[in-house]
C-alpha cells in the first residue's frame, strides 16, 4: 500500500466518534492551556498525561488526545503573548515581540487572526511533510542496528547540549541526571537490582508519570507561587479588527520559509519549538532588509514568522519520535513515554506493526489543525477571557489535577510525596538555569541508550570499534561533533572578528 492508502487508513481511525471527539477536545483543551499565561504545552501535557492514561483508552486514542493538547497549546500560546505580553512558554517568547505592540496599537483582533492563520499554515505544512518523509525515514531506519542507535542517541544529546539552554554543560548534566534516574530498578538483561536501596516500590523503576508530573506540573506550580502576579493583569481588548487577504498575501513567503525552518529544526532530535521560532524570526528580520528595522514594533512578518515556525516544529518533532523512537523535543519525549506506558515501542517498525497508531496520529493532526483554525477564529474572545482567571485559582487547580492523575494511576500515597519532592527539585533546577527537557529526554531514552550499547558490544564480543564502523554511524558522529562544536567555533570567530574591528585603522 502506498502512503495515500495508509493515510486513508489513518483517517478511518480518526473518524470514529470516540477519536474524533478526542481530537476536538484535545485541541480545545490545548488552546485553553496554551492561553493561560505561564503554562505551556509541556506542562499541559504533563499534567493531563496521567488522567489520559487512567481513562483506559486504547493507545492510539490516548496519543491522539495528548498530541491534540500538545499542538493545541502551541496554538493557544500566542493569545497570552499577544494580549498580555506574557509568553506561555519559551516557544511563544518571539510572538510577544511583534504581537503585543500590534495589540497595543488597537490591532489585537488582526494580530490574533493573522497568527492563527500562520499557525494553521505552519502546522498543516508540517503534517504534509511528516506524511511524506516519515514513512521513508522509517523504511530507512528499519535497517539500523544497535550501533546506529547509539550514534543517533549521541547525536540527539549533542544537538540538545548545543541548542537548548544557555549553558551546554548544564544541559548535558540534566540529561545525565535523567539517564541516571532511568537506571533505577531491575536490569532487564541480567536481573541485577540497581539503585533501589531495598525499596520494593523502586524495583520497576521510578514511575515515569510521577517524574513528569513532578518535574513539570508541581515545579510549574512552585514557579507560579514564586512569580505570582499581584494585582490585575492588563488585558488588551480584542477589538473588531481582523486579518485581511492583503496581510496574508504579504506574509505568504514568510510563512513558507518559517514553516520549513520550523519543521527542519523540529525534526532535529532534542530541539523543539523555542529554537525554531527564534531562528525563523532572526532569518526573516535579516531577509526583510530595511523593513527589518520595523521588527519589534508590531510588524506582521515578525508575528507570522515565529508562529508558523513553532507550530511547524511541533509537527516536525513528531518525525524522529514516530520513526526512530527518539523524541525531537521535551513534549514529544513525554508523548513517547506515554506510548511506552501502553507497551508500544515507537520506532521504525511501528509503521508496519501498529499502523493504526502511527497513521491515526498523523491523520488526526490534519483534522486537528483545521479544527484549531475553526475553533480559534471565532472563539478567541472566550480564550482571551480565560487569561483573566486569577492565579489564586490556577495554583490549587494544578495541584488537584496532579494529585488526581498520580493517585488514580498508582493508587499509592507514597508516590504523592515523591512527586512533591521532584517538584522541588525541578524548581531548583529551573532556578539554576537548567532546562528540564534534557532531564525528561534522559529518562525516556536511558534504557534504549544502554540496551543498544550493550547489544552492540555483545555483537562485537566486547570490541568497542563496532561503534564507529559503517558509514551511517560515522556520519552521525561527525554531525554530532559539528553540532556540539559549531556554536563554540562561531562564538570564537565572532570574537575574532570583533577583535579585528577593534583595531584602529591606520
Residues lying near another protein in the complex (CB under 8 A) = 51, 54-56, 166-167, 169-170, 172-173, 176-177, 179-180, 183, 187, 189-192, 194-195, 218, 221-222, 225-226, 228, 230, 390-393, 395-397, 399-400, 403-404, 407-408, 411, 413, 416-417, 420, 423-424, 427-428, 431-433, 450, 453-455, 457-458, 461-462
Residue identified by cell 545525565 is 176
Three-state SS string over 71-112 comes to HHHHHHHHHHHHHHCCCCCHHHHHHHHHHHHHHHHHHHHHHH
Q: At what angle do helices 252-267 and 273-287 cross, to 10 degrees?
A: 140
Nearer to another protein, 169 or 249 (CB): 169
Residue 15 DSSP code: T
Alpha-carbon distance 109 to 123, whole Å? 21
Which of residues 230 and 471 has its CB atom nearest to another protein in the complex? 230
Side-chain-side CA neighbours of 493 within 13 Å: the count stands at: 6
CB of 32 to another protein, least distance (A): 16
* Minimum CB distance to another protein, residue 400 (Å): 6
Nearest CA-CA partner of 465 in 477, 476, 457: 457
Looking at the DSSP bridge assignments, the partners of residue 185 are 194
- Least distance (Å) from another protein to the CB of residue 396? 4
In the structure grid, which three cell numbers stand for residue 388, read together?
A: 483573566
Minimum distance of another protein from residue 195's CB (angstroms): 6
Give me the least distance between CB of 179 and another protein, in Å please.
Answer: 6
- For another protein, give the closer residue by CB, 462 or 504: 462
Which residue, among 228, 231, 210, 215, has the nearest Cα to 396 in the 3D structure? 228
Residue 195 or 485: which CB sits closer to another protein? 195
CB of 345 to another protein, least distance (A): 19
Give the residue with the Cβ less far from another protein, 1 or 392: 392
- For residue 144, give the C-alpha cell: 539500523
What's the min distance (Å) between Cβ of 234 and another protein?
Answer: 17
Nearest to 62 by CA among 326, 383, 343: 343
Do residues 337 and 347 touch, judged by C-beta distance below 8 A?
no
Nearer to another protein, 177 or 472 (CB): 177
- Output the smallest distance, CB 187 to another protein, in A: 4
Measured from the CB atom, is 30 or 423 closer to another protein? 423
Phi, psi of 37 (to 5 degrees): -65, 135
**51 vs 377, which CB is nearer to another protein?**
51
- Smallest Cα–Cα separation from 67: which of 325, 276, 331? 331
Cell readout for 459 is 555483537
Give the three cell numbers for residue 214: 513532578
- Shortest Å distance, C-beta 260 to another protein: 34
Q: Select 231 or 504, whichever has its Cβ closest to another protein.
A: 231
Nearer to another protein, 169 or 499 (CB): 169
**At closest approach, how far in Å is the CB of 110 from another protein?**
34
Residue 311 near residue 122, CB atoms below 8 Å: yes
Shortest distance (Å) from residue 390 CB to another protein: 7
467 Rama sector, left if φ>0, alpha if ψ -120 to 50, beta otherwise = alpha
Label residue 104 exposed, middle or buried (CB < 10 Å: 0-12, 13-18, 19+): middle
Determine the longest span between alpha carbons in the chain, in angstroms. Answer: 77
CA 222, 224, 226, 231 torsion-angle sign: negative
CA neighbours within 13 Å on the CB side: how many for 39?
32
Neighbours of 325 (CB within 10 A): 22
In terms of CB distance, is 178 or 302 closer to another protein?
178
Between the alpha carbon of residue 25 and those of residues 38, 51, 487, the distances in Å are 21, 14, 41
Amino acid at each position: 500500500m502506498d502512503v495515500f492508502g495508509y493515510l486513508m487508513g489513518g483517517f478511518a481511525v480518526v473518524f470514529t466518534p470516540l477519536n474524533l471527539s478526542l481530537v476536538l477536545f484535545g485541541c480545545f483543551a490545548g488552546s485553553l492551556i496554551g492561553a493561560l499565561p505561564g503554562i505551556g504545552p509541556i506542562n499541559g501535557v504533563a499534567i493531563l498525561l496521567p488522567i489520559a492514561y487512567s481513562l483506559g483508552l486504547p493507545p492510539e486514542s490516548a496519543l491522539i488526545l495528548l498530541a491534540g493538547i500538545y499542538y493545541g497549546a502551541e496554538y493557544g500560546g500566542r493569545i497570552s503573548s499577544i494580549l498580555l505580553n506574557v509568553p506561555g512558554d519559551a516557544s511563544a517568547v518571539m510572538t510577544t515581540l511583534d504581537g503585543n505592540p500590534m495589540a497595543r496599537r488597537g490591532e489585537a483582533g488582526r494580530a490574533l487572526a493573522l497568527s492563527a492563520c500562520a499557525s494553521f499554515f505552519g502546522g498543516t505544512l508540517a503534517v504534509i511533510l511528516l506524511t511524506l518523509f516519515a514513512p521513508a525515514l522509517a523504511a530507512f531506519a528499519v535497517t539500523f542496528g544497535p550501533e546506529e542507535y547509539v550514534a543517533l542517541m549521541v547525536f540527539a544529546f549533542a544537538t540538545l547540549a548545543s541548542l537548548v539552554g544557555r549553558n551546554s554543560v548544564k544541559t548535558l548534566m540534566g540529561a545525565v541526571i535523567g539517564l541516571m534516574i532511568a537506571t533505577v530498578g531491575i536490569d532487564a538483561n541480567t536481573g541485577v537490582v540497581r539503585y533501589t536501596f531495598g525499596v520494593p516500590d523502586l524495583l520497576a523503576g521510578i514511575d515515569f508519570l510521577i517524574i513528569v508530573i513532578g518535574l513539570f506540573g508541581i515545579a510549574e506550580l512552585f514557579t507560579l507561587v514564586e512569580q505570582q502576579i499581584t494585582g490585575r493583569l492588563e488585558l488588551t481588548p480584542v477589538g473588531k479588527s481582523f486579518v485581511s487577504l492583503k496581510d496574508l498575501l504579504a506574509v505568504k513567503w514568510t510563512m513558507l520559509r518559517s514553516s520549513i525552518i520550523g519543521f527542519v529544526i523540529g525534526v532535529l532530535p532534542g530541539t523543539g519549538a523555542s529554537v525554531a521560532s527564534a531562528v525563523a524570526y532572526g532569518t526573516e528580520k535579516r531577509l526583510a532588509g530595511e523593513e527589518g528595522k520595523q521588527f519589534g514594533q508590531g510588524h506582521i512578518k515578525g508575528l507570522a514568522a515565529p508562529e508558523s515556525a513553532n507550530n511547524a516544529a511541533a509537527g516536525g518533532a513528531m518525525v524522529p519520535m514516530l520513526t526512530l523512537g527518539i523524541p525531537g523535543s521535551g513534549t514529544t519525549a513525554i508523548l513517547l513515554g506515554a506510548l511506552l506506558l501502553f507497551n508500544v515501542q515507537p520506532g521504525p517498525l511501528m509503521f508496519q506493526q501498529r499502523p493504526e497508531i502511527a497513521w491515526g496520529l498523523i491523520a488526526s493532526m490534519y483534522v486537528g489543525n483545521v479544527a484549531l483554525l475553526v475553533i480559534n477564529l471565532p472563539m478567541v474572545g472566550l480564550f482571551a477571557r480565560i487569561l483573566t482567571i486569577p492565579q489564586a485559582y490556577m495554583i490549587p487547580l494544578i495541584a488537584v489535577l496532579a494529585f488526581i492523575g498520580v493517585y488514580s494511576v498508582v493508587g499509592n500515597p507514597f508516590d504523592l510525596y515523591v512527586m512533591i519532592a521532584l517538584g522541588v527539585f525541578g524548581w531548583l533546577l529551573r532556578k539554576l538555569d537548567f532546562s528540564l527537557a534534557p532531564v525528561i529526554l534522559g529518562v525516556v531514552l536511558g534504557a534504549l541508550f544502554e540496551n543498544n550499547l550493550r547489544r552492540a558490544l555483545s555483537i562485537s564480543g566486547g570490541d568497542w570499534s563496532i561503534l564507529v564502523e559503517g558509514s551511517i554511524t560515522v556520519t552521525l558522529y561527525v554531525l554530532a561533533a559539528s553540532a556540539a562544536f559549531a556554536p563554540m567555533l562561531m562564538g570564537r570567530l565572532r570574537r575574532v572578528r570583533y577583535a579585528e574591528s577593534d583595531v584602529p585603522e591606520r
